[in-house]
Structure 1
């Protein structure tokens, strides 16, 4: 056994000394902008060696007390390979807490290596791994603060695998948090995993951190993670780790991204066609990677309105040069003589914000709000399946968002602040144009007028606002659209598959909320005494909900008018049943129109009543 250990130690020493470690890189996709954010560096030993794979490599290093030395060698090999291939975006480097505090990490060697390789610190993400007990959290915080001050970003690996990284999250406040693959694999079919990740997402929003879902191996999980609004993902479905990794998203990932459900704004205020990055596109002729700095300066001097110049390698964008930064540097003595003939790569931003042309305005705004400040000045590069199209400016982005907000506020219902008739109609037309299947639900309060007349408009407004809130809670904010037609009428466009359950949830929630607003006497009677329209003092039933629902298949309707008419007819059928004298103490009704126009063998409509 001792002989075997000595052999492994000698082999490991040979691998480190002879530089036989080779890194592989796995792409990390940014769902928000449909582009590769960067790469995680992983390490391998020599092929066909007993130490080829990470478990054996690092297990032997730990047993032989060479763990820190191996980790430093891995870091240097990864940085050199990343620079040699001129890979775009960020580099995620795995670092153990013990290595973070090692003198070799703190003695300036890493800083000198980055300068030698021409890699800016803001492109490096230190990914803390939880494979050893953390004994000096204050020391780690101090070290991380030092790295942050130099431009590095921080990530925590495998959230959910242990409790220590939850504490690390609260103490360190990383820019990225990686979700353990256990919670990602099968999430599309597992509601428990789904809700765990939703809880992580809520924490991430509070902490201004971007989540990265690891271990995505299935298309279904990829789509689920994306539709949940998780920022980033990585896994075999996107790409396996390779020595020469993909620089563009593979067809399978692009196809899954293209099938995304119709997006909604966080507030639901969608007016007309949702603006995308292509809306902000400015076509600027890029410069090739081998262009000299003198050529770049000449381009800026020839066009005073040119604020940035994109740098490409073929069709692939790899950098962005800021006008003011470039001219300021060359204004210093001897800079033109020293650097004029050298490649423009020397002064470009190596990790610009690169977005797909289909990225929405909201996604862009979120990205810029979380990005370093200089991104606001540089703007972003717009691509089509990884190929350069042009650039967009933050100024134009802010102007577009302001215009959207003003327009949305103009059409919002003043009582609930939900979209009114105009945005409802425009969203329906947008759904029809997308040729996707959806469900239209017309929500109305029964027995509302006598309640409003008896208790006053203030209490009536409380009921309407209550229904607006409950309708928003019953809908899925990621894909369902909630609008307020006016008065006590609401309209929901469902894309969620469990729309029927959500309708019944709304009926029950409204009945329970109304019950809580009643006095003990009203609750015991199930109603109240009030005048009717003829001035007679009679018993009045409590307000309940009627929901008329119609399923709209692709090509079934041509405009929002047809959808509104069909939903209105379904709502009338629901209200007829609610007014049936034989149906006492009803909490509400849902009528689902399942017939298809012109379908002789179509199933009949369905009416259900909640008692």
Structure 2
């Protein structure tokens, strides 16, 4: 059951029931009750970073007890509060401590403040205060409610109390506060909670990001969570980022926000900016993922429209009204901060409709231009490939259709794009991709493969070209029929895709039983070995019982002679390419050299042959 009593913090605290464990020993004269009565809590602030803009998005308030007690670290502090049944009171005191410190130290550049509260504490105070809960949490501070994010921790079973929790969140939102789910993917967090609460943010637990740069399974799990986030239109935060490699993968996966020791450790004062090494890492863009030449026609730069912006700190709603009057074709205007980084977008039609209402100009004309802006615009780097925006089209938040999107360059404002142009460009790209895709596997065919090799050569990065070919496939196809042969080809396609990183690797289908993989994954050799092992094992399932028992089938060879053919297996010729070592390499040079390595596999005793490209194809 959730705690619903009103344990006083003024007295000595609750008396343990008979048989219950004794309270934790004090260190010196201080007990948990002393800490609460004496307001001896301290807030530390850990930054949450916007990876798209490379700046601090907000801070999470993390509470410490007195340094000279056993309750200094939060694990012991909150564990003891739960044991004594006063965790709602401790959580409220912690929230007040964080809010007061943030209010006293932080400027507008500190962004949002994330305050942790459990479900039981929220329902406890919702039961007592009802719709006054938001005001009581803010404790009379002159902080904008919109800058406060109540972060639901995962300590309590939630399902039996989902309705009450939804009501509590609805009340907080009505008072301007935002809500987030913490540690999603572990504990008591669930899709049901996500669907009912409709949080403004979801923080994905640190477990999924610890070593994600070298863990394909974790990458797949995060992609699954991001698919849900796209459906609901919910921004996500990656927790526990502790090195540049993991941050790069998180950025490339499309996670918008992140926090962790690599981005900034908890400290007493909020930080105004991210570390330089983080900025440098975020500025290094990954090579283009799709098989298209790297030029402006395939990047967001092709959709960019020159458009003026307004400043959050200097312009008013009257200024926005005049701007729209001077630029009749302007569908929206971006709102930027003093560093020219976008913080919102104002839709022309919505703004005009509101401004035409009676007394609106008199009441809001001199207010900041952020009054009527959408504070969660779609932001896209000018060098991002257009295909990376496909997820925007299927997200639940469809405001981009009328608002358009903001184009950035190195985190700063660079222009606008329209929803119409985005839909048209993505549609055209998909049609073009389908035009050259293999009809059986839907994988890119010869032309996209060559284009992607060209993009990799132009980028100058090292990569591996793997030419995959099936052994003994023709007799299998002759004996079992083309439909079973198609199943074998589809199996190969599935296994290759399963073991390739879609953020770093490209899979193409040349035709028939030939596939090409272009790999930038650092563990490419292990991936190729796993592809071969998995295919050789699972291909046997496509034989009938007699074939599996015999280890193969009897069939005619190319000379019409009956002979025995063992199971279909996979061979891969791998060509390591270092573009910087040569003056000029053409895609066809790489394709020809890879085919020669595959030929050695076909006529040798090894399933995997690796050679280095020497420029003599």
2:327 to 303, 326, 334: 303
Matching residue of 1:523: 548
- Corresponding residue of 2:58: 39
Equivalences for residues 1-40 of structure 1 within 5 A: 4-5=30-31, 8-12=35-39, 24=45, 26-30=47-51, 33=52, 35-36=54-55, 38-40=57-59
Check conservation: 1:43, 1:54, Cα contact below 8 A.
no
- 1:129 matched to 2:147? The reply is no
Q: Does the CA contact (< 8 Å) of 2:203 and 2:237 recur in 1? A: yes
Residue 488 of structure 2 corresponds to 463
Residues 214-259 of structure 1, C-alpha deviation per residue, up to 9 Å, x if partnerless?
2222223323444565554211212345677556654312332344
Partner of 1:271: 292
Q: Which residue of 1 is the match for residue 611 of structure 2?
A: 593
Separation in structure 1 between the aligned mates of residue 513 and residue 148 of structure 2, nearest angstrom: 54
Mapped partners of 1:323, 1:167: distance in 2: 36
Quick one: distance in 2 between partners of 1:79 and 1:107?
Answer: 24
Distance 1:525 1:282 in 2: 66
Residue 433 of structure 1: CA displacement? 0.8
Aligned residue for 1:389?
414
* Residue equivalent to 1:602: none
CA contact (8 A) 1:248 1:386 kept: no
Task: Measure how far apart 1:577 and its partner are.
Answer: 1.6
Distance 1:513 1:413 in 2: 23
| Structure 2 CA distance for partners of 1:184 and 1:512, relative to 1, 3 Å | closer
Deviation at 1:165, TM superposition (A): 3.5
After TM superposition, the structure 1 = structure 2 runs for residues 32-181 of structure 1, keeping only pairs within 5 Å, are 33=52, 35-36=54-55, 38-42=57-61, 55=74, 66-67=89-90, 69-71=92-94, 73-74=96-97, 76-77=99-100, 80=103, 85-87=107-109, 91-101=113-123, 102-103=125-126, 106-108=130-132, 110=134, 119=144, 121=146, 125-130=149-154, 136-147=161-172, 154-159=179-184, 163-165=187-189, 169=193, 172=196, 175=199, 176-181=201-206
Equivalent in the alignment of 2:310: 287
Partners of 1:264 and 1:168 lie apart in 2 by: 34
| 1:461 CA displacement | 2.7
Is the Cα–Cα contact under 8 Å of residues 71 and 99 in structure 1 kept in the other structure?
A: no
Q: Quick one: distance in 1 between partners of 2:481 and 2:63?
A: 74
Within the candidate set 347, 367, 384, 2:372 is matched to 347
CA deviation map 1:310-335 (0-9, x unaligned)? 22333233332221222222212233
Q: Secondary structure at the match of 1:505?
A: helix
Q: 1:564: which partner in 2?
A: 591
Q: Deviations over 1:471-503 (max 9, x none)?
A: 222322332111111122111111122222332
- Flag structure 1 segments of 5+ consecutive residues without an equivalent: 16-20, 579-587, 599-611
State the Cα deviation string for residues 81-133 of structure 1 (Å, max 9, x = none).
79x73348755332232442214764246379799979575x65431124567
State yes or no: 1:408 paired with 2:433. Answer: yes
TM-score by length of 2: 0.78
Quick check: 2:44–2:266 contact (8 Å CA) kept in 1?
Answer: no
Q: Is the alpha carbon distance of 1:333 and 1:280 closer, same or farther for their aligned partners in structure 2, counting shifts above 3 Å?
A: same
Partner Cα distance (1:49, 1:332) in 2: 60
Given the alignment of the two structures, is residue 577 of structure 1 paired with residue 604 of structure 2, yes or no? yes
- Measure, in 1, the Cα distance between the counterparts of 2:193 and 2:368: 40
Deviation at 1:400, TM superposition (A): 1.4
- Which of 48-57 and 311-320 deviates more? 48-57
Moved more, 171-180 or 42-51: 42-51
Output one character per residue of 1:427-452: Cα deviation in whole Å (capped at 9) or x when no partner: 00001111111110111223333443
Identify if the C-alpha distance between structure 1 residues 57 and 357 changes in structure 2 by more than 3 Å, giving closer, same or farther.
farther
Q: Distance between the aligned counterparts of 1:23 and 1:264, measured in 2?
A: 39
What is the RMSD of the two structures over their aligned residues, measured on CA atoms?
4.1
TM-score (norm 1): 0.79
Closer/same/farther in 2, CA of residues 117 and 282 from structure 1, 3 Å limit? farther
- Structure 1 distance, partners of 2:576, 2:529, is 16
Aligned partners of 1:244 and 1:395: how far apart in 2? 44
TM-superposed CA distance for 1:535, in Å, is 3.9
Q: Residues 37 and 90 of structure 1 are in contact (CA less than 8 Å); yes or no, is this contact kept in structure 2? A: no
Q: Which ranges in structure 2 are unaligned for 5 or more consecutive residues?
A: 1-25
Compared CA separation, residues 148 and 397, structure 1 to 2 (3 A): farther
Equivalent residues of 2:389, 2:426 under 8 A apart: no
Distance in 1 between residues matched to 2:133 and 2:402, nearest whole Å:
31
Aligned runs of 1:435-584 on 2, under 5 Å? 435-555=460-580, 556=582, 558-577=585-604
1:89/1:352 contact within 8 Å kept: no
Q: Distance in 2 between matches of 1:22 and 1:508?
A: 53
Measure the CA separation in 2 of the matches of 1:167 and 1:571. Answer: 46
**What's the CA shift for 1:197?**
6.7
Given that 1:29 and 1:234 are in contact with CA atoms closer than 8 Å, whether structure 2 keeps it comes out as no
Alignment of 1:252-263 (within 5 A): 252-259=277-284, 261-263=286-288
Structure-2 change in CA distance of 1:509 and 1:143 (3 Å) = same
Change (3 A) 1:230 1:462: same
Farther off after superposition, 502-511 or 477-486? 502-511
